[in-house]
Amino acid sequence: MAVLMGIDLGTSSVKTVLMHESGSLMAIAQQEYSFDIPREGWAEQDPETWWKAAVDTIRSAMHTSGVQPEEIRGIGFSGQMHGLVMLDGSGKPVRKAIIWCDQRTKHQVDYINQTVGEQRVGEIVHSPVAVGFMGPSLLWMKEHEPDMYRQTARVVLPKDYIRFKLTGTISTDISDAASTTLLDVSSGRWSDELINALGFRQELFPDIHLPDTPAGEISFEAADVTGLKRGTPVVHGGADQVMQAVGNGIVTPGTISVTIGTGGQVLSPLDRPLYDSRLRAHGFNFLTRESWYFMGASLSAGLSLRWLRNILDPQLPYREVDRLASQVPPGSEGLLFLPYLGGERTPHMDAHARGIFFGMTLNHKRSHLLRSVMEGVVFALKDSLNILINDLGQPCSRVIASGGGMTSSLWLQMQADILQQEIYISNMKEQAGVGAAITAGVGTGLFESYQQACSELISLQETPTIPDASQKHQYQEYYELYRQLYGLNRDAMHTASRLSRERTGGGKS
């Protein structure tokens, strides 16, 4: 019997999955944590918190399943994207990691665009420069914490730190490196032009490998701490959205993933390095040297609903949220929500965008608020889907829902109605962790390819959620109004953001 392990390092938890080679899940262990907000707009996590959670969930998964260490054929990883982890010469974190939802680097983003040229950056990285990405965060460190910057010997992405702790090898993979704003996406190599223009040291950046490439073996020290067998093969793994795609069986163009997790994403594999020339979305490297993917991102998807629920009643079960929201007709009787609680990426790329409830009347109750938030999240995802299909001309043969949003039948129906697509869901749970496990299977030779593994292991529920034709016109009208609201309120949003930073001592980034 061969068993594969996938370790998924998320924003709010680490999950460790043990999967039999047949595709059956033998254990899922999870440990939650939060992130620090030392100042408004900042977001940081201690890498040692990730490591402790990884150790605990590895041990828990093995204990729960009864799997013996020698039965584990290989280990793969999935990780939250974009974050900056700074290591000194001995591999210890210099400081807490600056993670993807951090908003402090607006001025660094502007500097990069002005120094290199916004369009030139887009030509290299196939993506707009965005706050929360490693490149701007590292530039902020260079400017604001120069002593810590000088102490730094290597920079890696979040999941790379866990893999380093397990193997002693510092490296990264191409799908995660693409999300740093420092990779030449066409060639799959660090961009000398960008690194030199920003005054970074070349030696900071680790070697880049494919997700299924071997990264080393479980070390003696890691075996002692985790209970894993010394010498167990470890592969590089990939960015969480890539691994989630694999876990959903999405490895070729035409199939689209729509995810509602903490953030929201629309992803589709590409067979060429295509990107949005208006720089509203991202074009990143995928599983091989000859594959790429489109990604549109919304920063506050499930986070928006959690925010509102916690304000109304932190003990309110999500099934009750669904029940309340289902009492309200589509369109929430004219109440619209812009889910820009932490700024927004696609399509605005605006760190100072702010959330809005619009159209509120005395007739609106908490059930309207809840439904309008759920609808607003899907409207934001529709912005990304429109860019992919209408502007980039990419095919859409099937849409697969992922993340917490797929567990709500009401949210699935909203996705079908607003996106006007049949929505499928996978029979496989914990897609990112499963994708990491499959990647380990490909890298250790258990599977010939991702395509073979996915065709054998991944299946979809036979009956999709079908769009309600009677809602198409109404939702289209509300979506058009939703699209207008950002432009009409952009200046006011920026003023509110500035005033808030000044009043709370945030000042300039």
User: Any catalytic annotation for residue 240?
Assistant: yes
- The answer to whether the Cα torsion of 196, 201, 202, 205 is positive or negative is negative
Give strand ranges (E) for 138-190: 154-156, 172-173, 183-184, 189-190
Give the tokens for residue 72: 């584990």
User: 3-state class of 223 per DSSP?
Assistant: helix
- Which residue pairs, CB below 8 angstroms and at least 24 apart, start in 408-413? 408/318, 408/322, 408/374, 409/322, 409/465, 410/322, 410/325, 410/326, 410/374, 411/260, 411/322, 411/374, 411/378, 412/465, 413/465, 413/468
Report how far residue 317's alpha carbon sits from residue 312's, in angstroms, rounded to the nearest whole number: 11
Report how far residue 93's alpha carbon sits from residue 196's, in angstroms, rounded to the nearest whole number: 24
DSSP 326-389: HTSPTTGGG-EEE--BTBB-TTT-BTT---EEES--TT--HHHHHHHHHHHHHHHHHHHHHIII
- Which among 167, 203, 477 has a CA at the least distance from the CA of 332? 477
Give, in degrees to the nearest 5, the angle at Cα 496 between 494 and 497.
65
User: 3-state class of 498 per DSSP?
Assistant: helix
Residues paired with 357 in a beta bridge: 337
Q: Enumerate residues 6+ apart whose C-beta is below 8 A from 388.
A: 256, 266, 268, 281, 294, 296, 394, 396
Report how far residue 507's alpha carbon sits from residue 71's, in angstroms, rounded to the nearest whole number: 54
Report how far residue 57's alpha carbon sits from residue 53's, in angstroms, rounded to the nearest whole number: 6
**Tally of CB atoms within 10 A around 484:** 12
Give, in degrees to the nearest 5, the angle at Cα 318 between 314 and 321.
90
For tokens 């258990």, name the residue.
446
CB 181 within 8 A of CB 269: no
From the list 240, 276, 383, 417, the catalytic residue is 240
Residue type, 286: F
User: 3-state class of 449 per DSSP?
Assistant: coil
Residue type, 351: A
CB 7 within 8 A of CB 60: no
> Which active-site residues does the annotation give?
240
